[in-house]
């Protein structure tokens, strides 16, 4: 293990995983400085040193990155909308600027939160993330890239639908995809642990939560067990989504707003058809066995708390279902 108490500069601290990472780093004994665009009252960030700044402004970055001697940058920063413009501005350009500022300030370590879906890039936000990953890998800095599977919040969007008597929507037979979801807390702890583990230097780390890989129909079974009654399931054919994408793409030629919506529909289709597991190029399949597991929190425990009203819907702009 490396020096155990570090001063971390955390980007994206107000996001779902940013908050969990801030807490995990503080619990691990690190000092955490954060840079956010607004004031925040998030409880996980109370013990942090807070800087307000614009991550797209090099002057703000130079001022904050040079304000102390940091041991590591951790970035959980990500486009909130996933539209191509925002993705290239945040997932790529802002990260490039952060990396340049970190190099100029001689910060020795950079931990980047990415996503497992970049292994099969079909969308602009994935290409933007990959472009930054490539820059980071070439930079004279010790780096780690963490590519998690699905988050619990991304698998909870239909609980309120189902509670209000609406059917659970699945694409095809509901077995097209699988994932090994990971909780915010477990992922935050994984990120914090990577900071002091030299074995993570220069590594791209796919990571999932504990337990078997699950499909959308497995989520239905889980919810039925928790709610104590059968759930209606509505099977949506993929051609229906393809038609929506086709129409929005056509209209998007005259309306930038509809072009963005076409892109968001393409993101929805991607997650309806691609598993969030490690892709094995030899067998040409997604492979649960090759997707590492970490942590203790289960999706079932999360659903129980969600149904009991102990959690709020944290999907924000990532929501696909309502
Ligand atoms: N959802 C999933 O299942 C999943 C799975 C695997 C990987 N991932 C990846 O994990 C990463 C983190 O996800 P998350 O859900 O924690 O993200 P999130 O909750 O959307 O948080 C995004 C963070 O980036 C900040 N940000 C966005 N645009 C900004 C801008 N223009 N200027 C300044 N700050 C900006 C946000 O600040 P504000 O609070 O000010 O908006 C927030 O702190 C993403 O890269 C995502 O692709 C997600």
Residue 4 has a pLDDT of 77
Give the three-class secondary structure for 27. helix
Is there a domain that residue 97 lies in?
A: yes
Residue 151 has a pLDDT of 97
Is there a domain that residue 189 lies in?
A: yes
Is there a domain that residue 261 lies in?
A: no
Tens digit of pLDDT for each residue in 53-65? 999 999 999 999 9
Residue 192 has a pLDDT of 98
Range of the domain at 14: 7-151+181-207
Is there a domain that residue 92 lies in?
A: yes
Is there a domain that residue 264 lies in?
A: no
Residue 310 has a pLDDT of 87
Q: How far is the CA of 110 from the centre of ligand 1 (A)?
A: 17
Sequence-separated (6 or more) residues with CB below 8 Å from residue 243: none
Which regions in the chain score pLDDT beneath 50?
Answer: 317-322
Q: In 179-318, which ranges are continuous DSSP H helix?
A: 184-194, 216-227, 238-251, 256-273, 299-307
Is there a domain that residue 134 lies in?
A: yes
Residue 322 has a pLDDT of 34
Is there a domain that residue 319 lies in?
A: no
Is there a domain that residue 290 lies in?
A: no
Our answer on whether the CB atom of 262 is closer than 6 Å to any ligand 1 atom is: no
Domain of 141, CATH number, reads 3.40.50.720
Q: How many domains does the chain have?
A: 1
Q: How far apart are CA 303 and CA 22, in angstroms?
A: 24
Residue 320 has a pLDDT of 45
- Taking CA atoms, 297 is separated from 33, 153, 184, 226, 245, in Å, by 27, 13, 9, 16, 36
Residue nearest to atom 48 of ligand 1 (CA): 115
Q: How far is the CA of 132 from the centre of ligand 1 (A)?
A: 15
Residue 171 has a pLDDT of 94
Choosing from 61, 77, 186 the residue with most ligand 1 atoms within 8 A of its CB, the one to mutate for a pocket test is 77
């Amino acid at each position: 293990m490396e020096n155990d108490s570090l001063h971390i500069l955390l980007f994206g601290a107000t996001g779902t995983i940013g908050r969990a990472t801030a807490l995990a780093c503080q619990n691990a004994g690190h000092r955490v400085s954060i840079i956010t665009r607004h004031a925040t009252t998030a409880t996980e960030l109370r013990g942090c040193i807070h800087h307000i700044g614009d991550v797209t402004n090099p002057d703000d970055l130079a001022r904050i990155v040079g304000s102390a001697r940091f041991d590591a940058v951790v970035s959980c920063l990500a486009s909130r909308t996933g539209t191509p413009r925002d993705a290239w501005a945040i997932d790529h350009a802002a990260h490039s600027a952060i990396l340049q500022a970190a190099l100029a300030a001689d910060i020795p370590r950079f931990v980047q939160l990415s996503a497992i879906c970049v292994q099969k890039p079909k969308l602009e936000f994935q290409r933007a993330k990959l472009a930054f990953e490539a820059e980071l890998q070439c930079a004279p800095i010790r780096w780690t890239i963490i590519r998690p599977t699905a988050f619990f919040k991304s698998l909870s969007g239909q609980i309120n639908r189902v509670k209000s008597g609406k059917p659970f929507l699945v694409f095809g037979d509901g077995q097209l995809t699988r994932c090994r979801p990971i909780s915010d807390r477990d992922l935050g702890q994984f990120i914090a642990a990577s900071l002091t583990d030299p074995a993570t230097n220069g590594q791209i780390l796919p990571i999932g939560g504990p337990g078997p890989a699950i499909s959308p129909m497995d989520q239905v079974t889980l919810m039925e067990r928790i709610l104590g009654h059968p759930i209606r399931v509505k099977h949506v054919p993929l051609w229906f989504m393809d038609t929506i994408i086709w129409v929005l793409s056509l209209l998007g030629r005259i309306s930038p707003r509809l072009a963005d919506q076409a892109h968001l529909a393409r993101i929805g289709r991607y997650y309806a058809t691609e598993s969030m597991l490690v892709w094995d190029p030899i067998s040409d399949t997604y492979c649960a066995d090759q997707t590492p597991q970490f942590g203790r929190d289960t999706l079932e425990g999360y659903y129980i708390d969600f149904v009991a009203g102990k959690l709020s819907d944290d999907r924000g702009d990532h929501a696909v279902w309502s």
